[in-house]
Amino acid sequence: MNKKAYLLAAVLTLGAPAISMPLFAQSSAQTQAGTVSGTVIDELGDPVVGATVRVKGSKTEATATDIDGRFTIRAKKDAVLEVSYIGYRPLAVSVNGKNNLELHLVPSATALDEVIVTGYTTQKKESLTGAIAQIKGDEVYKNRGVTNTTTALQGEIPGLTVTRKSSRPGSEDASMEIRGAYSINGGGPLILIDGQSASLDELNSMDGNDIANISVLKDASAAIYGARSAGGVILVTTKRGRIGKPQVTYSGSYSRTIDGADLPITNNQEWLQMWFEGQYNDTKASNPGITDHDELMSRFNWWIFNTFGGTPAQQNPETGVWEAIPGADAVIGQSLYESLVAGKTMTLMRGSFIDRWEPDNYLLDFLYGNADTWKHNVSISGGDDKFNYRASLNYSTAQSQLKIAEDGEKKYGARLNADYKPNDMFKIETGMSYERRVVRNPSQGIGRGWQDPWFWAITNQNGDPYDTFSSERNPYGWFTQGGKNEDRWNTFRANGKITLDISRYVKGLSFAVSGAYKRVEKENTNTKTEVRFYDWAGNNTTKGGVLNSPSGISEYHRYWNSYTLGAFAYYNRKFGQHQVDAMVGYTGENEDYKNLGASRWKGETYPGSGLTDMNVFVGGDNNGADGGSHSWSFLSWVTDLRYNYDDRYLVSFLGRRDGSSKLSPKQRWKNFYSVSGGWVVSGEKFWENIGAANYVNFLKVRYNYGKTGSVNGIGNYESFSTISTGSVYLGTTKLPTMWINGMTSSDRTWESLISHNAGIDFGFFNNRLRASFDWFQKTNDGMFIDVTYPAVLGASAPKTNNGKLRTRGWEIEVNWRDRIGQVNYNVGFNVFDAKTKLLELTNNENVPTAGINSKRLIGKPINAIYVFQTDGVFQTQEEVDAYYEMYYWNADHSGPKQGNILPAPIENSVDRLRPGARKRVDVNGNGVIDEHDLYYAGDTAPRVSFGIKGGLEWKGIDLSVFFQGVGKQTILRSGNMYAPFVVNYCLQNNTFIGKTWTEENHSNEYTILSRSNNFNRFNYANSDVSVNNNRYIRLKNLVVGYTLPRQWTSKAGVEKFRVYFSGDDLWEWSKVHDGYDPEYGEASSSIFPFSRMLNFGVELTF
């Protein structure tokens, strides 16, 4: 730790005297005070858990209600008890000499006084004028088996889109986006954990049980974070101490991961069926004059079955040598194919190789199976009015479904938050945490060889990896011998805040200073070790003897040190019906980064050592090293001004002036702001006079306008030209050279977004039904884009602020919460949509190309899909000939039409159009099928995202259900299996089976089977038949729990004991027509099946 870190740590530990106090200190006794007990209940008679009960005027006597709403506190006979809880009116009750009290809390007038974290301050929900959503951590993570903190947020918050490409632990490839895209330069929302900026990796290293709440700033309310707020802001607040006796809580779960929907992949028999049908159709196409089946079979090409056959063999019991069986006929070509169709297990001699054929093997069943996940979290919390604390430890381990190698994630964490308030003027808040996350997987890609039709043994009779026709095909060898890749994240955070409240001198005025230090270490170790493959007899068949030879190792270490300091002044004062809240502050943030890497190849490992250190790879003569460093800084002035008149008229102004080291001095500083207003209509007298308050007890309209910024696409040293060195030969002389990497710009500045948000909030039937609607628009007028100059310039030109992008959308959230008898229940849903359009680009012809047009078409989304429209398939040869006549040939048949992209009508070609081929449509009507016939098919971005929730509680039993989905998303399938036999020796998509065109089944759904790559690509690639509507709904989470009655558990000293069963990703319905999970994305080559999780968990509170 360097000097700056030590200095900052010293500042942060100003609260150490508080931590050094006895953690289990209890409230001191008062003179002549006795013990008062009681129960706090709500308007429905249910206990209120966690309500604060304090003695009025006392600085020490305070406690919190337990799971049954009960409390015990020391108080004088004439004392007044004050009770408070979010969402309810404060209550003050005189003890009047009683020893046992029943205290009734009444919902506040709006039931909307939940405190929302909005940035550097907090606000009550009823007074918000911006689009800010908040969700409690326990609502998201409490009953989940998943360990990824990001993916658990799918569907939870309207406007927040969370996507993933896998359910593989540690490799989910999750991303977040708030209200659609804002730039072609990418970039997600700014994430802050307890006020410190963080990456997705850091968020995923956290344990969700430590999160108190998550706030999402979706509109220009994010302007309080200035130049990094264009993508919105996510504020993560961790749990802090509670008032009351020490409380120990344990939560743990065991999860069993099972297969989700099966991948739409052929088994061996299905592949053989498709292969034969495609080969037979091609034989007919290349021999158009032959119709006799026997004659066609005589010209049939048995392909690999002619190469890999052999003579049946047996092992001599005396010598152990494998020998051909005397008199046995060779199994090759058609006989090999028919034997495999019959499912025969065979041992064949192929030259010097002994092949073992086991056609009933299904490789994926050998690679994948069920897996286990364990999660543990233990915490202790307590304190009084002066000092409170919360400490926690957590551990989780999750293995993927890959069962033959280590593949998964482990997480460890420790956290301590402590608050000390010695008097009414001073308050010290401190926090410290450490998290470690380790992801291990095979160093070779999961996709290696898995797509092969697998007719062989997987291991030979000695248990060694079996070789097929190529030494790289068997993934078992790669996964078990080829080495491993390990990523390690270590994150340490420390933060502190000291508040000085001088309200006794200047009412409403307080000051605060804060500081934070963060160190993130990311380390990677990648080893590649020798892999040997063998035939059935145990002969090494590997090309060159071994693969990955010689072995090697690479290690990379990356370090980020981040420092944040701030100073703030707050003024909160009420003058009659006028409420004024103001904050001004100054913040600074600095980050230093360094990386160092080394590699050693062409070395040998110590056999069986299992060691992965650099010095184990001895004898290496191909060593390498690299490294680098950078740093950046931000300085900012911030302000938050709010005015509230009679809880009816609300005005807010947020401002930030940011300065960044990344830009030239000329453009280094810029202002960002937000102006918003709200009108609580239901607070007006006329609302009650017309009787509307009887049904709509809360109605607020609001509008927000402002400017936010983005630094994505800006390097750390934009204002400096960098020079690279190299060499060049002039004749036979090697001379040193230098060149400028790229030109700089002194005029380029931040990307700036202008945002509008109009919203309305409702509360019906005493706020049992709550709803909100928002319309929004954000425009990036100054987006970074590339500008192309003539090559004579001699260097790449800098990006300019000449692009423009706009995103518009809406969101709705509705929730109902009520009680019927002894049953509490709730239902709710949220839905949101956003559409992005590129408005201005430079040096762009705006002409679409086939496929996904990324960041290049004005008037279209960032990723616009253009494909060829088709109109069924040809049913007869006459249709084919007429089609060629109309769209391929010139009028005089002197050649093809200019621009034509149809396959040439060569008579015996398997690539030409034929009955069963697909008909492309002449969209523009120019009489030729060309690149101008593309049409817009949709946008790759998910649209109309939604979440649906429901729950109930009855006599200790709780049930909850959560659905999540997408209403619209266009997917253009690609990869090895988007069409039949795009790659010949590859498993196929079984969706095609029984749905392709044949002479007996004139289907219009899929074309005739063929093994011609060119034929299949023409019929499927960038065609509407490969477009999927990715609409889906998924049962994300289902929970059934039971909390044992306290009278049963209290005898054992247990305050709460709950058990639950839950499931994640249990079911889905999808409009995807080719069989893939809707979250796979475009590629059809993905191997990892999406999984389901079955969980059993317990919660204990002592």
pLDDT digits (tens, 9 = 90+) for 808-858: 999 999 999 998 988 999 999 999 999 999 999 987 778 999 999 999 999
Confidence of residue 111 (pLDDT cuts 50, 70, 90): very low
pLDDT digits (tens, 9 = 90+) for 1033-1043: 999 999 999 99
Q: What is the largest CA-CA distance in the chain?
A: 115
The C-alpha atoms of residue 5 and residue 832 are separated, in whole angstroms, by 43
The C-alpha atoms of residue 1012 and residue 1015 are separated, in whole angstroms, by 5
Confidence of residue 669 (pLDDT cuts 50, 70, 90): very high
Which letter does DSSP use for residue 983 in this model?
S
4, 563 contact by CB (below 8 A): yes
| SS3 label, residue 11 | helix
Position with higher pLDDT, 9 vs 839 = 839
Checking if the pLDDT of 11 tops 60, the result is no
pLDDT digits (tens, 9 = 90+) for 306-328: 988 899 999 999 988 999 999 99
pLDDT of residue 816: 96
| SS3 label, residue 991 | helix
| SS3 label, residue 655 | strand
Max avg pLDDT among 26-30, 461-465, 718-722: 461-465
Q: State the angle between helix axes of 334-341 and 268-286 in degrees (0 to 180), rounded to the nearest 10.
A: 140
pLDDT digits (tens, 9 = 90+) for 532-556: 889 999 988 876 667 777 778 899 9
Q: List the 52-55 sheet strands across, edge first.
A: 62-64, 52-55, 80-84, 91-94
The C-alpha atoms of residue 706 and residue 221 are separated, in whole angstroms, by 8
Question: To the nearest whole percent, how much of the chain has pLDDT over 90?
Answer: 65
The residue type found at 879 is: E
Question: How much is the mean pLDDT over the chain?
Answer: 89
Instruction: Count Cα neighbours of 918 within 13 Å in the Cβ-side half-sphere.
Output: 27
pLDDT digits (tens, 9 = 90+) for 756-796: 999 999 999 988 999 999 999 999 999 988 877 777 666 77
The C-alpha atoms of residue 224 and residue 851 are separated, in whole angstroms, by 40
Assign 3-class secondary structure to 1005-1069.
CECCCCCCHHHHHHHHCCEHHHEEECCEEEEEEEEEEEECCHHHHHHHCCCEEEEEEEEEEEEEE
User: Buried b vs exposed e over 637-654: b needs ≥16 C-beta within 10 Å?
Assistant: bbbbbbebeebeebebbb
The C-alpha atoms of residue 50 and residue 680 are separated, in whole angstroms, by 30
Of 596-605, 688-697, 1015-1024, which gets the smallest average pLDDT? 596-605
User: Buried b vs exposed e over 834-845: b needs ≥16 C-beta within 10 Å?
Assistant: bebbbebbeebe
pLDDT digits (tens, 9 = 90+) for 50-91: 888 999 888 778 888 887 889 999 999 889 999 988 767 789
The C-alpha atoms of residue 344 and residue 233 are separated, in whole angstroms, by 61
| SS3 label, residue 520 | strand
The C-alpha atoms of residue 175 and residue 164 are separated, in whole angstroms, by 7
1095, 374 contact by CB (below 8 A): no
The C-alpha atoms of residue 602 and residue 388 are separated, in whole angstroms, by 58
pLDDT of residue 255: 96
The pTM for the full model equals: 0.88
Please state whether beta strands 233-238 and 190-193 pair in parallel, antiparallel, or not at all (unpaired). Answer: parallel
pLDDT of residue 30: 39
CB-count exposure of residue 560 (10 Å: 0-12, 13-18, 19+): middle
Instruction: Count Cα neighbours of 138 within 13 Å in the Cβ-side half-sphere.
Output: 4
Question: To the nearest whole percent, how much of the chain has pLDDT over 70?
Answer: 93
pLDDT of residue 545: 66
pLDDT digits (tens, 9 = 90+) for 235-257: 999 999 988 889 999 999 999 99
The C-alpha atoms of residue 680 and residue 693 are separated, in whole angstroms, by 12
The C-alpha atoms of residue 125 and residue 548 are separated, in whole angstroms, by 60
Distance of CA 119 to the CA centre of its chain: 23
Q: What's the whole-number mean pLDDT along residues 702-714?
A: 91
State the residue for tokens 């390690």.
488
pLDDT digits (tens, 9 = 90+) for 364-376: 888 889 999 999 9
Distance of CA 141 to the CA centre of its chain: 15
The C-alpha atoms of residue 113 and residue 124 are separated, in whole angstroms, by 5
Confidence of residue 666 (pLDDT cuts 50, 70, 90): confident
pLDDT of residue 518: 97
The C-alpha atoms of residue 445 and residue 610 are separated, in whole angstroms, by 20
Checking if the pLDDT of 933 tops 60, the result is yes
pLDDT digits (tens, 9 = 90+) for 583-622: 999 999 999 999 999 988 766 555 555 666 777 666 656 6
221, 673 contact by CB (below 8 A): no
Confidence of residue 1087 (pLDDT cuts 50, 70, 90): low
Confidence of residue 258 (pLDDT cuts 50, 70, 90): very high
Q: Which of 380, 374, 416 lies closest to 398, judged by CA?
A: 374
The neighbouring-strand residues paired with 632 are 591
pLDDT of residue 705: 98
Distance of CA 103 to the CA centre of its chain: 45
Q: What is the CA radius of gyration of the chain?
A: 34
Q: What's the whole-number mean pLDDT along residues 905-912?
A: 95
Checking if the pLDDT of 6 tops 50, the result is no
Q: Which domains does the chain have, with CATH numbers?
A: 3-104 (2.60.40.1120), 122-244 (2.170.130.10)
Q: Which of 888, 912, 911, 886 lies closest to 898, judged by CA?
A: 888
474, 533 contact by CB (below 8 A): yes
Backbone torsion region of residue 112, taken as left when φ is above 0, otherwise alpha when ψ lies between -120 and 50, otherwise beta? alpha
Confidence of residue 715 (pLDDT cuts 50, 70, 90): confident
Position with higher pLDDT, 869 vs 119 = 869
The C-alpha atoms of residue 940 and residue 181 are separated, in whole angstroms, by 12
Checking if the pLDDT of 9 tops 70, the result is no
Checking if the pLDDT of 334 tops 70, the result is yes
Confidence of residue 26 (pLDDT cuts 50, 70, 90): very low
How many residues does this entry show for the chain?
1102
The C-alpha atoms of residue 346 and residue 312 are separated, in whole angstroms, by 7
349, 322 contact by CB (below 8 A): yes
